Structure 1
Amino acid sequence: MRTLKAEPLTPDAFAPFGDVIEASADARQISINYGNTTRFHDLAQLALTADGGKAGVSIFRSSPLDGPITVKVMEYHPKSSQAFVPLSGRPYLVVVAPKGPFDASKMRAFLAGPGQGVNYHAGTWHHFSLALEDVSDFLVIDRIADDDNCVEHELSADEQRVVSF
C-alpha cells in the first residue's frame, strides 16, 4: 500500500482544489461594529445555485476512522462548491485530487489546524470529513436541491493510500 504524506494546509498549496477559510493576516480585514469586530472578508468562492440549488447551512458530526487511515473512497460535487469549517477545536485531515477523471497518483493530503476551514471548488475530488482526535463537528455550507450532486469513486486496491501525518 502506498503512503500519502499529509502536508500543512496553506492557501497556496490548496489553491488548485479550493479555498482555505481562516482569519489570517493575508485576508482582507474590515473593521465593523464600531471598531469592536474585525471582519475577515469574502474568504471562499461559493458556487451553490446551479440548476435551482440554494445555499444550505448544516452541521456534520464526524467520527474518527480507526488508524491507520486508508483512503478507500473519493467524491466530488459537479454542481457546487462545499465548505467545511471546524467547530470542535481539533485538527483534521483533508484529502483531495484535481478535477477531471480520478487519478490516485495526484491525490494530496493536508493537515488542517482547528482554525482552518476548506471550501472545495465544484468538481474537486475529496474524501469525506476526516476527524482525528475525537468526534468533531463541522459547519458545512453547500448546495441544497432535489437532484443528485455527488459522484463517488471507490478506490481499487492499487489506488488506495494510507495517510501519514
Structure 2
Amino acid sequence: MLTLSIERLTRKAFAPFGEVVDTDGLTPLPINEGFARRFNDLATIDVTAEGGQINISWFVASTRPAPIAIRLMERHPLGSQLFMPLNRKDWLIVVCTDPHIASTYRAFAATGYQGVNYARNCWHHPLLVLEDSSPFFVVDRKGGGDNLEEYWLEEMVQLDFAPDSILGK
C-alpha cells in the first residue's frame, strides 16, 4: 500500500493540476464606494467543450472513516472543476497525473481560505473534508457529453497523518 505525505497547498506545487484559488498576495480593487474589495481573475473556468455551460452549485461533503483510504480517482475531460470551501475549515486534496503510476500521486492540505480549480482532465479524488457537513461553492460544467471518467485503484493509497505530517503540526 502506498502512503502519501501531505504537503501544504501552494500555487507552484499545484500548478501541474490546475489553479489554487485564494487572494494571498493579490491586490484588491476597491468597489462599492470603498466598502468592498474585489479580487478579479482568480481562476480560468474551462467548460465550453462540446457546448458545455457554466454550472454553479453547492456541495455538502461528509468526512470519511480514518484512516482515509484513496480507492477512486476521477477526471472531467470536458471541463475544469472549481471547489471553494464555505466554512473556512481545512480540507484535503489528492491528485495525480496518471492513476496507474503510484509515483505521480500528491496530497495537499488546503486552508479553509483556499480553493482549487482542477484543470480539465486532471485526475483527482472526490472531496476530502476534515469536518462533517462541509459546504463548498462549486463551478463546473453542465451539458451534453461524457464528462466523468473514474478509475478504481487496484492497490489502496493511504494518507499520512503522522505527528510530523503537515496535519500533525
- Paired position in structure 2 for 1:163: 159
1:24 and 2:20 correspond: no
Q: Following TM superposition, by how much is the alpha carbon of 1:39 offset from its aligned partner in structure 2, in angstroms? A: 1.2
3-state SS of 2:3 partner:
strand
Distance 2:101 2:38 in 1: 38
State the Cα deviation string for residues 75-97 of structure 1 (Å, max 9, x = none).
00111000000012211100001
- Paired position in structure 1 for 2:166: none
5+ unaligned residues in a row in structure 1: which ranges? none
Q: Following TM superposition, by how much is the alpha carbon of 1:103 offset from its aligned partner in structure 2, in angstroms? A: 2.3
Paired residues for 1:139-154 under 5 Å = 139-154=137-152
Distance 2:48 2:142 in 1: 8
5+ unaligned residues in a row in structure 2: which ranges? 162-169
Letter in 2 for 1:50: A
- Paired position in structure 1 for 2:4: 4
Identity %: 44
- Paired position in structure 1 for 2:129: 131
- Paired position in structure 2 for 1:121: 119
Paired residues for 1:14-163 under 5 Å = 14-25=14-25, 27-98=26-97, 102-157=100-155, 160-163=156-159
Distance 1:96 1:57 in 2: 22
Q: Following TM superposition, by how much is the alpha carbon of 1:34 offset from its aligned partner in structure 2, in angstroms? A: 1.7
Distance 1:69 1:101 in 2: 17
TM-score (norm 2): 0.90
CA RMSD for the aligned pairs? 1.3
Q: Is the 8 A contact 1:63 1:135 kept in 2?
A: yes
Distance 1:104 1:74 in 2: 12
Q: Following TM superposition, by how much is the alpha carbon of 1:125 offset from its aligned partner in structure 2, in angstroms? A: 0.3
Distance 2:15 2:80 in 1: 14
- Paired position in structure 1 for 2:167: none
TM-score (norm 1): 0.92
Q: 33-42 or 58-67: which moved more?
A: 33-42
Distance 2:47 2:100 in 1: 23
3-state SS of 2:103 partner:
helix
Distance 2:86 2:64 in 1: 18
Query: Structure 1 runs of 4+ off > 6 angstroms?
Result: none
